[in-house]
Chains A and B, each alone.
Chain A
Amino acid sequence: MQIVEVNGVHIIAMSERLDVPVAPVLREAIKNLVEQNYTRVIIDLSKTKFIDSSGCGALVASLRSLIRSKGDMKIAGPSPQAKSLFELTRLHRVFEIYGNVDQALA
């Protein structure tokens, strides 16, 4: 997982899997950003081939935390597996989803 900042927006690039070992790491990263008043976040999933229920849970928790702090969270570049999972679990109605990071930044 890598975090870069572009014009006040923090882009969190996830690695190949967003699953049980990584989900708490994402939650912790969001918590640290919120504590520093950085509340505009893009989750870059363009390299992520596999997401499980704990990954979905971490994304929901992250979104909640950012919205509570008057921020926002966008998701960029989800794989077909991720898109299918978001649709199945209706999370596509909750998340702002973009094709890539540039579109999410625009």
Chain B
Amino acid sequence: MNYPKIVKIETQADQHFLRPLNSLVRALLLLAPGLGKQTAVVNDLELAFNEAYANIVEHAYGATNKGPIIIEITLSEEAVEFKFEDFGKEFDYSLVPEPNFERPANGGLGVWLIRRFMDECVYSRENGKKNVLRLIKKIPAADL
């Protein structure tokens, strides 16, 4: 198979799409070179994808706005990249504080988990109207 492979999806900001999208992402990740037997890494990537999509639905668009989300998944021999574009409110990941692990809260772990599981988490606001989030994970060498 030739790499990189790119899958592009345009969907609505709707939490009901979260599970079908997660299933698709998981299936794609299992096709990626070097990831097929790395279940723990696939789990982490699925969770990071899940958290990023859920954040856009909840924070960028909110409960009533089902605006578009454009997702691009790039699988290469070296890395996996998730790119999300939405047209909701600005949501700067760098401004989200670290959770206080001494006082667990009912929320606030999502962005921390994304940062924990991905090697790069780059957010930008383009033309004052578009959020772009790029998440990159280098594929670790599999244990023999």
Contact = CB atoms under 8 A, between A and B. Distances in A.
Contacts of B43: 50, 81, 84
Contacts of B108: 53, 57
B124 interface: no
Interface residues of B, number: 24
Interface string A1-29: 00000000000000001011100000000
A88 B116 contact: yes
Interface stretch (A32-40, A68-76, A89-97, A98-106): A89-97
B49 to A, nearest CB: 10
B126 to A, nearest CB: 26
Interface in A48-91: 50, 52-54, 56-58, 60-61, 64, 80-81, 84-85, 88-91
A60 B104 contact: yes
B15 interface: yes
B105 A54 contact: no
B7 interface: no
Interface of B: 15-16, 18-19, 22, 40, 43, 46-47, 50-51, 54, 57, 99, 101, 104-110, 113, 116
B105 A50 contact: no
Contact of A52 (B40, B54, B105): B54
Interface residues of B, dominant DSSP: helix
Closest 8 A/B residue pairs (Cβ): A53-B109, A53-B110, A90-B101, A61-B106, A57-B107, A57-B106, A60-B104, A20-B15
A90 B54 CA distance: 22
Given A19-B18, A53-B113, 14 more contacts: A20-B50, A21-B16, A21-B18, A52-B47, A52-B50, A53-B108, A53-B110, A58-B106, A60-B105, A61-B106, A80-B40, A90-B101, A91-B104, A94-B104
Given A19-B50, A50-B46, A89-B101, A56 B109 contact: yes
